[in-house]
Amino acid sequence: MADASEIAIESLTHAADKPDRTDSRTRGERDPVSIHPLAVVSPEARLGAGVTIAAFATVEADVELGDHCRIGSGAVVKSGVTAGCHNEFAEHVVIGGAPQHAARPEHVGRVVVGDHNVFREFVTVHRSLKPGTATVVGNHNYVMAGVHFGHDVTVGSNCIFANNGLLGGHATVEDRAFVSGAVAVHQFCRIGRLAMVGGHARVVQDVPPYMLIDGHSGCVCGLNVVGLRRSGHTAADITELKDAYRVIYRRGLTWKQVLETLHADFGSGPVAHLRDFLGCGTRGFAQERRAPPATTLRLRVPDEDAMAVRAKAG
């Protein structure tokens, strides 16, 4: 997962200050910044080449936008936001809002966004609580309408968040995770790499990497095999993960025995990351969904009818 320092923007210039600066990639003319006359843009904002800002958008001071970012109509990019290149902020998003915390300090942290992210309508991303820290969003994420990232959230790269998903404060989502619509993630919870969380799930414990979460129960219902194949994992990788799954959920081992067995039997590959993920955490881990035991429908029959039935049956 990308560190905040790795995805922070190192060199952004104010378009009004240096209109003649050339683009180092093409060594040609710098792409012009397009700001609609009805937009409100602070002269202290630093805008990269080719930034487009639509009508009624607001970009406050102490904002850094990389090359070719697009700000939609009515969007608000507040102070304390650093964003990389080719990000799309759709209509009415609010990036960099103050953290929702009853004991919010006077000075708070920042929001750091990588490259090639899409934030659709009405997405909100809040700044971190403490100065010197950041709410971090990596690269190539697709964040659908109505999603909320709370303060101090860390999101990796290549993740997808469907409509109205909610991440509580300090939540962590690793690379290539898929969070379905209307999912609520409790603060401090983690969602592992390539995990897929079903719609309307209530996530109150850590979701291990590569797992599927049932939206109704919030429990693990198997491996995300389709996601593993699409991401390039081999059949051998998937077989090892299935073996590790049985160790974790099917053999009835204590938690200490589970970790010891994973360390002893799996030295590398995706299971190594799963093992490391399970080795830390503060909220416990999502349990496996178990089918209810087979039941027999019993009917109460009056004695005389029962005798008649038995007589007819011989």
What residues are labeled active site? Answer: 151-152, 169
The four Cα atoms 231, 237, 240, 246 give a dihedral, to 10 degrees, of 10
Rg (CA), the chain: 25
CA distance 228 to 210: 7
Question: Is the distance from CB of 109 to CB of 5 less than 8 angstroms?
Answer: no
**For the packed helices 255-265 and 235-249, what is the interaxial angle rounded to 10 degrees?**
160
Using alpha carbons, select from 125, 121, 21 the residue that is nearest to residue 63: 125
Q: Coil, strand or helix: which one is 190?
A: strand
Question: Is the distance from CB of 50 to CB of 67 less than 8 angstroms?
Answer: yes
- The H or E element containing residue 243 is helix 235-249
